[in-house]
């Protein structure tokens, strides 16, 4: 397990972004590829990156939760995962309190039942993805599945609501750089790495503006007023 974090000066990161390890026989995971690319960018110390997270119903959230304890200024978390067959970045808007694995996780487990007993049947992401401008690079999704990704999202949103913070989940399509991975379908669509990175950078900027709206207001240029006439 490794942690990759951008350098910071005074205040610690306010946003943690995570990605999963490969699973189901694959050698790569698009979320982990993007995590490593994004971690190379300058985020002004506001973002921390962590991965790979184990594709394990039992271990994924505890591992992430332990990592979050490192950052006392944390205001939100975005977990990323891979969704083979998709053609856009999927901004997940809700998670089900239900596990029903179609394939075993990396521990060989196939649980069936609630993620958290006694919790609501559905939790909505606390990042307002519906307020993000429209783009061909991303879409809002209402189905995070019933695998480890959904369970992780449910735990993250449950944490966010209890702590009055923010949490969300993003599914990524396969990337062009994953071509030749024997564990992935040859016919599955693959998107350009640079385009997906571009989309994610905008999504992260939006998330940061949500977490620290006061900084977003300062960054906006002052409005220009039309002059009524020539200056005296």
174 φ, ψ to 5°? -65, 155
Burial of 103 (0-12, 13-18, 19+ CB in 10 A): exposed
23 φ, ψ to 5°? -150, 170
Write down the catalytic residue from 21, 79, 166, 171: 171
How far, in Å, CA of 133 to CA of 200, rounded?
13
How far, in Å, CA of 198 to CA of 194, rounded?
6
Write down the catalytic residue from 21, 67, 84, 92: 92
Residue corresponding to tokens 């640079």 = 194
Asked if residue 141 lies in contact with residue 92, where contact means CB atoms within 8 angstroms, the answer is: yes
**Strand partners for 100:** 112
Write down the catalytic residue from 21, 67, 84, 149: 149
Q: Is the peptide bond before 52 cis (omega within 30 degrees of 0)?
A: yes
Query: Does residue 187 have an active-site annotation?
Result: no
Query: Does residue 79 have an active-site annotation?
Result: no
Q: What residues are labeled active site? A: 92, 149, 171
């Amino acid at each position: 397990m490794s942690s990759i974090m951008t350098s910071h000066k005074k205040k610690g990161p306010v946003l943690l972004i995570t990605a999963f390890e490969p699973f189901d026989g694959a050698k790569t995971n698009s979320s982990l590829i993007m995590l490593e690319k994004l971690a190379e960018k300058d985020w002004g110390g506001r973002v921390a990156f962590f991965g790979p997270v184990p594709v394990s119903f039992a271990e994924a959230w505890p591992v992430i939760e332990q990592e979050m304890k490192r950052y006392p200024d944390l205001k939100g978390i975005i977990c990323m995962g891979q969704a083979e067959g998709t053609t856009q970045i999927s901004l997940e808007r809700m998670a089900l309190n239900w596990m029903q694995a179609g394939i075993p996780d990396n521990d060989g487990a196939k649980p069936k039942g609630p993620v958290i007993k006694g919790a609501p049947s559905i939790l909505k992401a606390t990042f307002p993805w519906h307020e993000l401008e429209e783009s061909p690079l991303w879409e809002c999704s209402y189905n995070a599945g019933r695998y480890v990704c959904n369970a992780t999202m449910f735990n993250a949103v449950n944490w966010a609501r209890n702590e009055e913070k923010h949490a969300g989940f993003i599914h990524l399509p396969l990337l062009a750089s994953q071509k030749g991975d024997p564990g992935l379908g040859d016919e599955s669509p693959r998107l350009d790495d640079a385009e997906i990175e571009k989309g994610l950078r905008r999504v992260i900027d939006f998330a940061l503006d949500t977490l620290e709206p006061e900084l977003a207001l300062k960054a906006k240029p002052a409005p220009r007023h039309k002059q009524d006439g020539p200056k005296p």
